[in-house]
Amino acid sequence: MLVALTACGSGGDGAAEDGKGGGGKPAAADRTAPSKAVVSIAPKDGAKSVATSGALKVTAEQGKLSSVKVSDTKGNEIEGTVAKDGASWKPAHHLAAATEYRVHAVAKDGEGRESAKDQTFTTLVPENTFVGHFTPEDGSKVGVGMPVSLRFTRGITAPEAVERAVTVTAEPKVEIRSQWYGNDRLDFRPEEYWEPGTKVTVKLNLDGVEGRPGVYGEQAKEVSFTIGRSQVSTVDAKKKTMKVERDGKVLKTIPITAGAPGTTTYNGEMVITEKHEVTRMNGETVGFGGEYDIKDVPHAMRLSTSGTFIHGNYWSGGAFGNYNASHGCVGLRDTRGGWDKKAPGAWFYDNSMIGDVVVVKNSDDKKIQWWNGLNAWNLDWEKWNPQPKR
């Protein structure tokens, strides 16, 4: 009886020899056994001249990836994401060119056992490269109308890839959109003028981007600039006046002379992109033949690539405030040599900065094209593209 009771009692905890006893715990997994997970990395270990996009792949079979780290020899890591099913990982963006990378990937099988793999490879050395020249300059302070403009040294045939490698952000945060002009210029702007005091940051992650077949970017650079006070000056071509407003307050109303009939001034919002205390203006450079060649134009500020300036004028006599006499520029009364700092031309020059806005209205001309200068504000906001997801 004692033996029988003991036997009966031992069976009550469900621990039968075959593990199928009623209500008992299954046998624990053997943690010392090798993991069934298999990690695969492409390209192969030690590979050379690897493509900067599309070649790096990390996968797992009979398990799920738990971590993937890809870094260069300087410790810079490549961000990436593991698929929801844990079977693959892909980088968030392209790789840099001529760079050695190390991949460390870990996967776990269904029993939680880990399997790891390490490989190294080196990306290609490009024979042909391009860079993007940026405006405005790094560290500069500019007016509220200054867009970000990039001009590439080679025509781009893969605009989406290039645009994904450029990020423009602002603090305080604001939506920023982009637009291509041709295949070598990319501009960015917010919906309205920047708020004074805004810090704008441009990140160029172009190193390794294939902008056109066999041509790769070579920049990995961050630049920033700050927005100064808000100054918007409005030229009324009919009234022949310019109202200068700063931070919402009128500083001064100045008599002007705009484009004469037949050589009228563009309408629209124009941004000051250059300042010259004295410059030469020759009609031959802008399609007016030998109609004029003035070697000492004072206090000139460029408003368009095609030759529109707002500048001091000492030769137009009584035109200011009375009639329009220029070849398309906006003229302000000034002195030869610019010695009179109280003259309207000198005063406006001294009180203007790169990035300030000059708006022309009521001229018998069309609106200036957005790409003629840095005049992004003349293209409707709806036609600008949201920055791509990265």
Q: What average pLDDT does the chain have?
A: 92
pLDDT digits (tens, 9 = 90+) for 197-255: 999 999 999 999 999 999 999 999 999 999 999 999 999 999 999 999 999 999 999 99
Please indicate whether residue 329 is annotated as part of the active site: yes
Domain with CATH 2.40.440.10 in the chain: 231-376
Residue 16's pLDDT band, with cuts at 50, 70 and 90, is very low
CATH for the stretch 231-376: 2.40.440.10
Exposure string of 14-24, with b = 16+ CB inside 10 Å and e = fewer, is: eeeeeeeeeee
User: Greater confidence, 132 or 387?
Assistant: 132
Residue carrying structure tokens 């203007």: 352
Least confident of 27-36, 96-105, 158-167, 371-380: 27-36
252-260 mean pLDDT: 98
Domain with CATH 2.60.40.3780 in the chain: 38-123
128-228 maps to CATH 2.60.120.620: no
* pLDDT over threshold 60, residue 90: yes
- What pLDDT is attached to residue 9? 38
Can you tell me the distance from the alpha carbon of 304 to that of 162, in angstroms, rounded to the nearest whole number?
A: 26
Could you tell me how many residues make up the chain? 390
Least confident of 30-44, 93-107, 114-128: 30-44
Token representation of residue 81: 């994401």
- What pLDDT is attached to residue 32? 77
pLDDT digits (tens, 9 = 90+) for 121-160: 999 999 999 999 999 999 999 999 999 999 999 999 999 9
Please name which of 275, 306, 273 lies closest in space to residue 148, comparing C-alpha atoms. Answer: 273
pLDDT digits (tens, 9 = 90+) for 291-326: 668 999 999 999 999 999 999 999 999 999 999 999
* pLDDT over threshold 80, residue 165: yes
Q: Which residue in the list 94, 299, 327, 329 is annotated as catalytic? A: 329
Compute how many other C-beta atoms are within 10 angstroms of the C-beta atom of residue 361.
14
Domain with CATH 2.60.40.3710 in the chain: 128-228
Q: Which residue in the list 94, 299, 311, 327 is annotated as catalytic? A: 311
Q: What is the pTM of this model?
A: 0.87
- What pLDDT is attached to residue 387? 80
pLDDT digits (tens, 9 = 90+) for 336-378: 999 999 999 999 999 999 999 999 999 999 999 999 999 999 9
* pLDDT over threshold 70, residue 290: no
Q: Under CATH, what is the fold of the domain 38-123?
A: Immunoglobulin-like (2.60.40)
Between CA 216 and CA 121, with CA 43 as vertex, the angle to 5 degrees is 70
Rounded to 5 degrees, what are φ and ψ at 347?
A: -60, -45
Beta bridge partners of 61: 38
Please indicate whether residue 8 is annotated as part of the active site: no
* pLDDT over threshold 90, residue 11: no
Residue 170's pLDDT band, with cuts at 50, 70 and 90, is very high
Residue carrying structure tokens 């805004």: 198
- What pLDDT is attached to residue 342? 96
71-97 mean pLDDT: 96
